[in-house]
Amino acid sequence: MSKTFGKAFVFGDNITTDALAPGAYMKAPLAELAAHCLESIDADFARDMKRGDIVVGGENFGMGSSREQAVMALRELGIGYVIAKSFAGLFFRNCINLGLAPLMCVDAAKINAGDELCCDAGEGSILNKTKNECYACEPIPPHLMAMLNDGGLLSHLVKRRALITTLPSN
């Protein structure tokens, strides 16, 4: 996980998976779906953001469906972290599974659009260079942090090979 600075794109409460991965593009290749990520809220988001930028939400970020394309679209665009006051449970799980760090932070509302942020999931901290502030995040349990560090659930499973039901060799 990079320690570089990214620009904050700030969204409100209850950002839905329908906004992150619109149903109409769910059959399309990931790159096309990602180009429409969050467009129902900010039509220019996918065009304006750069790799390494950071999405900031309020309460209940990622609510709605189980579609992990909501996380994949953010990752495809190169979003480094998602910060929110709270996350929808399913979206939180999907983030961990796909190796995108979800940072739960009570001070999320202090972050303004365009602020330069540097995040550390392991330490559970966010540095806001623009405002010269530092925020603490809810620590991610070690079991899940290990999964994140391995790059997500699948690579984590590969490392613990013994538990996987393997293909019969023939």
Partner 1 sequence: MLPRLAQTLAQKIIARAAGRDSVRVGELIVAKVDLAMMHDSGGPRRVAAMLAEIGASVWDRNKVVVVTDHFVPAVDVDSARILKLTRDWVRINQVDRFHDMQGICHVVMTENGHVRPGMFAVGGDSHSPTAGAFGAFMFGVGATEMAGVLATGEIWIKVPETQLIRWQGKLGHALSAKDMILATLKRLKLNTLKYGVAQYCGEAVTALSMSDRMVLTNMAAELGAQTGLIEPDATTFAALKNADVDMQYAPEFHGDPDATFLATWDFDANKLVPQVAAPHSPDNVDDVDRFQNVTIDQAYIGACTGAKLNDLHMAAEVLKGRKVARNIRLLIAPASTRMTAAAAADGTLATLTAAGAILLPSGCGACAGYGAGILAEDEVCISSTARNFKGRMGAASSHVYLGSPYTVAASAVTGRITDPREFIHVFHHAQAVA
| Interface positions with partner 1 (CB under 8 A) | 14, 16, 18-19, 22-24, 26-27, 39-41, 59-60, 63-68, 71, 86, 88-90, 92-94, 97-98, 141, 143-144, 152-154, 157-158, 163-168
Which amino acid belongs to residue 89? G
Question: Tell me, what DSSP letter sits at residue 84?
Answer: E
Q: Which of 34, 114, 117, 44 is nearest to 83 (CA)?
A: 117
Q: Alpha-carbon distance 81 to 54, whole Å?
A: 5
Nearer to partner 1, 5 or 91 (CB): 91
Q: Alpha-carbon distance 111 to 14, whole Å?
A: 17
Nearer to partner 1, 36 or 115 (CB): 36
Provide, rounded to whole angstroms, the least separation between the CB of residue 44 and partner 1: 14
Nearer to partner 1, 71 or 79 (CB): 71
Provide, rounded to whole angstroms, the least separation between the CB of residue 5 and partner 1: 29
Provide, rounded to whole angstroms, the least separation between the CB of residue 3 and partner 1: 26
Provide, rounded to whole angstroms, the least separation between the CB of residue 106 and partner 1: 14
Is residue 17 within 8 Å of residue 91, measured between CB atoms? yes
**Alpha-carbon dihedral 68, 74, 76, 79, rounded to 10 degrees:** -140
